[in-house]
Amino acid sequence: MERNSKKPGKTAGKDASNEPDPTAGKARQRPTIADVARAAGVSTTTVSHALNDKGYVDPHTRERVKDTARALGYRPSVRAQRLRTGEAHTIALISSMPFEIAGGASRLGFLMEVAAVAAAAALTRGLALALVPPMMAGRLPLEQLDIDGAIVIEPTADDANVAHLQERGLPVVCLGRQPGNDAVPYVDIHSSATTALLLNHLHEQGCKRIALLVGAQQRNSYIEARDAYERFCAAHRMAPVIAVADESGGEAAGYATSARLLEEHPDVDGLCALVDAFAVGAVQAIVGYGRRVPGDIKVVTRYDGTRARSCRPPLTAVDLHLDDMASQAVDLLFAHLAGAGGAASVAPALPTLVARESSGERSEH
């Protein structure tokens, strides 16, 4: 209690002089290269050369500088080294998908599956990976990130994240081509092949009238899916039925759009819902409409993730080989960071089908 009663400026000893203490606060400050230079009696240039083993420095001076730096607890600034050498240290993984698609049940799905492999691949290159999660609303605050480059998952044609990164002059690689922007290197996610795989499976399972459900946004995966679907319909003399849902609606948008589809096209017996959130909503709408999956309508989706596996019935989906995609994306970005003439695009292994109950043989129960 007595200690708390002392007034400022009235403490005993030299504090009572009210003179500023030149050492005050220095114990808490991080030692700088200038501090090392003063303590060692050399220039800052000599310190830099000695600590980085560059230039000519007398061996005895080099050791003295290193001993002084250790004694002071000096640690070189990673940011300063990066600015000086041009070496990259941190990249970001950014999902262009909205929270309603990439969050919720998919939070540990597509994005995290890519992130796990990308982080390991980045580490082998001496890079740290910063994961930028989808936001509930608004543009991602990327200006707050101190990064050297980024991987953007499935950008839209007018993707604000890609535009911001390009304005900053940062190398960008996309997982999935950005529509209308061939200047951005990308990993081909085989959207056309994936759609064809799913449609052919539905046809082999006996479906005669297959509908396609895609997002309203301008993503290359939707554009390629539409083209593949129209080619499929032409080849099988099937009248195309394309339904569109807004990604921001998530499962609810899939439900509402599928309900309208069932009203307008009661003869549909197969549905390819590219987005897993839409597919789950579609199953709910089909059941609510008094029909059965897969007895009356078979449903398939693209990504074999949490939603596909936990849906009832479980959804037939596709193994996109995301580990391959993620590794190739990091390698491609690293090549562009290093100025090593990275390719304009790379392609992983083709997708493989994961057949489940939602597209099983018709049954009477």
3-state secondary structure of 354: strand
pLDDT beyond 50 at 286: yes
Tell me the backbone φ, ψ of residue 109, rounded to 5 degrees: -100, -120
Q: At what angle do helices 322-337 and 110-124 cross, to 10 degrees?
A: 50
Nearest Cα neighbor of 150 from 182, 114, 104, 100 is 114
Fold agreement between 90-189+322-346 and 191-320+352-359: yes
Distance from C-alpha of 356 to C-alpha of 311, rounded to nearest angstrom: 11
Lowest-pLDDT range of 16-30, 134-148, 205-219: 16-30
Name the residue with higher pLDDT: 219 or 109.
Answer: 219
Residue 245 carries which side chain, given as an amino acid letter?
A
Please give the sequence-ordered ranges of beta strands (E in DSSP) within the chain, or none if there are none: 90-95, 128-132, 149-153, 172-175, 186-187, 210-215, 242-245, 270-273, 298-303, 316-319, 345-346, 352-354
CA dist., res. 57 & res. 49, Å (int)? 7
Cis peptide before 294 (omega within 30 of 0): yes
Residue 332 predicted with pLDDT over 70: yes
Query: Which tokens go with 30?
Result: 């991080």
Rounded Cα gap, residues 310 and 235, in angstroms: 34
Residue 340, sorted as left (phi over 0), alpha (psi -120 to 50) or beta, turns out to be: alpha
Strands of the 242-245 sheet, one edge to the other:
242-245, 210-215, 270-273, 298-303, 316-319, 352-354
Q: What is the pLDDT of residue 175?
A: 95
Q: What is the widest separation between alpha-carbon atoms in the chain?
A: 98
| pLDDT surpasses 80 at 202 | yes
Residue 55, pLDDT score: 67
- The pLDDT score that the predictor gives to residue 105 is 54
> For residue 272, which of 143, 170, 358 has the smallest C-alpha distance?
358
C-alpha dihedral sign at 59, 65, 66, 68: positive
Q: What is the pLDDT of residues 238-279, one digit of tens each?
A: 999 999 999 989 999 999 999 999 999 999 999 999 999 999
Q: Give the Cβ contact number of residue 249 at 10 Å.
A: 20
Give percent of the chain with pLDDT exceeding 90: 55
| pLDDT at residue 20, rounded to an integer | 43
**To 5 degrees, how large is the angle CA 115–CA 150–CA 121?**
45
Neighbours of 205 (CB within 10 A): 18
The pLDDT of residue 252 is 94
CATH topology of domain 22-76: 434 Repressor (Amino-terminal Domain) (1.10.260)
Among 301, 302, 216, smallest CA distance to 256 is for 216
Q: Which CATH number fits domain 191-320+352-359: 3.40.50.10420, 3.40.50.2300, 1.10.260.40, 3.30.1330.30?
A: 3.40.50.2300
* Distance, CA of 153 to CA of 177 (rounded, Å): 9
Residues belonging to the chain = 365
The residue that leads in pLDDT, 222 or 78, is: 222
Q: Where are the domains of the chain?
A: 22-76, 90-189+322-346, 191-320+352-359
DSSP letter, residue 80: H
Q: How far is CA 157 from CA 176, 184, 213, 224, 282, in A?
A: 11, 12, 19, 13, 26
Most confident region among 1-10, 46-55, 168-177, 293-302 by mean pLDDT? 293-302
- The pLDDT, as a whole number, for residue 12 is 39
Strand order of the sheet with strand 128-132? 128-132, 90-95, 149-153, 172-175, 186-187, 345-346
Q: Provide the CATH topology of domain 90-189+322-346.
A: Rossmann fold (3.40.50)
Residue from 355, 349, 364, 365 nearest 202 by CA: 355
CA 193/CA 227 separation, integer angstroms: 11
CA nearest neighbour of 207 among 317, 365, 362: 362
